[in-house]
Structure 1
Amino acid sequence: MQYYQMTGFLGGPDPCTQKADDIDLPHPDTAALLLDFDGTLVDIADRPDGITVPDDLGDLLARAMDRTDGAVALVSGRTIDDLVQFLPGFDGTLIGAHGSEFRVAGERFPAADFDHDTIERLQRLVEDFGALRPEFLVEPKPTGVVLHYRQAEALGALALHFMESLADAAEGFRLQPALMAYEIKPESVGKDIALDRLLDDGPFAGRTPIYAGDDLTDEPALKLVRARGGAAIKIGDAETVAAHRLADPTALRTLLDGWLG
């Protein structure tokens, strides 16, 4: 059962979701809005390229940018290129690959200098493994690699054992469990690390943060936002440090729509 626990399938005892109007958020004039993408703003799909972006999401994000004076960031495990593809009209801050790359005020830059030789070796090894077991989906990232097993749940323990072994052998890298996936990435990369840097700069400085996310990878960011006196919202029923919980992306979009007025 270890891999189920690590991927967040086992939530807390009888988690209950809230209605959108039961969550009190700081006023948009004083808030910074920080949002995960998959499973938070859009519904999860079987494959990363299979998601459907709601027709009104672009308008919702544009309104949020206007009301917060630009203090809106999408914080995703996806690359920035992926996010731009799905949200071409969004001109706010993007944090991609779990905090390894930034787009701020239109300028793109990496969070740090990474060991690209090790990243390439890890990607080759995982791709070879995926070729042997086509039930898995391999997703290279700028700073690592992801092995998805959403279409092969019964093989979750095999995925864990393989990826854990690789991560243990790669100095300076660690295993990041996610929903139906395992990612190997640098130890210096995390959504919380990226947000701690972002919240002290530019239009985000001095504002009360709001963060919403659904995955295990969001938990450190939810914890950081709570420590900074902000509002942390978990999407879904997995175990969480967040004080608030909503059922799904539709509920979050409803909450934000009412909040923006």
Structure 2
Amino acid sequence: MIRLSVNINKIATLRNARGGDTPNVVESAKNLESFGAQGITVHPRPDERHIRYADVNELTKVIKTEFNIEGNPNQKFIALVLDAKPAQVTLVPDGEDVLTSNAGWDTIKHKDFLKEVISEFKAHGIRTSVFVDPSLQMIQGAAEVGADRVELFTEAYAQGYIKDKEKAIAPYLKCAEEAKSLGLGINAGHDLSLENIEYFAQTIPFLDEVSIGHALISEALYDGLEVVVKSYLKKLS
């Protein structure tokens, strides 16, 4: 069974647009779990433009499924993760000025840095995933730095899906097979939606988890969170 982790950043974005505490991210996370989500993902950024560091502290108290915290491992982020002790941390190399994650790690260039950060998280019992482009070299580099999993950056797949889904998924299939051969778990995320998730899940072997935020929350505006979560679970099964 491929696990569905719901990224609730967009719920926090909506809250922050108006101020106050509506919608409430903690209640939203609890509701998503009750609807069947098998994990909750957050991606706090330095400017706290959506998820705030205080949100992470509150979510840690109530999440009963798998908690995944993703972000660029600066010192403040590392301290937050070590304090929260989530089931998983996903390392993403996004700059402070980017609108959303737009590239995976160069696991060769940043080998020493990633190895140091990952060893610290693993010493505290936190499973570590590295966000990578669908590149065999980057997969191999992730294994060398000691990652437990890779998260395949699926933007290119989503963009190419409508035109030629077989061509779009081909590099991901090769990377999944390589990751499996190296003992890495496989996650995926970014631009996956109800339109393209089923083919990805059926075609990529050994897929452990998908993290979906923007598409799922957007789709829920039309159909509601419960219906959409159950739709994803059905496609992933």
Q: What's the TM-score once normalised by structure 1's chain length?
A: 0.33
Greater RCO between the two (CA within 8 Å, min separation 6)? 1
Give TM-score, length-normalised by structure 2: 0.36
Higher strand share: 1
